[in-house]
Amino acid sequence: MRHEPTKQEYSQMVEEMTPKHNSLLNCIRAFFVGGAFCLLGEMIKQTMMKVFDISKKDALLYVTIELVLLSVILTGFNLYGKITKFGGAGGLVPITGFANSVASPAIEYQKEGQVFGIGVKIFTIAGPVILYGIFSAFLAGICYFLGTQWGWIG
């Protein structure tokens, strides 16, 4: 017969099993993973500007497209989750983290159909991000608009 753990033993077990939050280690990992994505972005930007003679504004858009594509491919091969697991915020904060949160439910829920599976779930994270991004930009835009109208700004 198996030994039933007492309450005390059980709480000790829980204590041991719960992953320890090592904040310093988390931060170091986040720094290197997040920094690496930004470094990659900068490399794409410089290459676009110098080799292909593209304006800075367009080069930044190419950076976005290429990082998003990279992230979606990594998500498809189930690798991006590992990056986030290791890097924490380092995998979440860059635009690649956003792309991962779009691609991941799209792949995951494809069995539930084109419209209510992929079509709905693809916006699980993208929806709130776009909504609050657009709305806060709208609010800031109103302040700017009124400011220019009444001669406070510019």
> Within 88-127, which residues bind other proteins (CB under 8 A)?
88-90, 92-95, 97-99, 101-103, 106-111, 118, 122, 124-126
Q: Does 21 bind other proteins (CB under 8 A)?
A: yes
Is the Cβ of residue 11 or residue 148 nearer to other proteins in the bound state?
148
State how far the Cα of 97 lies from the Cα of 59, in Å rounded to an integer. 20
Q: SS3 for 146?
A: helix
The footprint of other proteins on residues 36-55 (CB under 8 A) is 36-39, 41-46
Among 12, 27, 50, 113, binds other proteins (CB under 8 A): 27
Q: Does 11 bind other proteins (CB under 8 A)?
A: no
CB-count burial class (<10 Å; 0-12, 13-18, 19+) for 104: buried
Q: What are the structure tokens assigned to 83, written together? A: 């990056």
Residue 96 in contact with residue 34, Cβ under 8 Å? no
- Min dist. Cβ of residue 112 to other proteins (A): 11
Count residues near other proteins (CB under 8 A): 75
Q: SS3 for 78?
A: coil
- Min dist. Cβ of residue 11 to other proteins (A): 21
Q: Does 79 bind other proteins (CB under 8 A)?
A: no
- Min dist. Cβ of residue 119 to other proteins (A): 9
78: region left, alpha or beta (phi > 0 left; psi from -120 to 50 alpha)? left
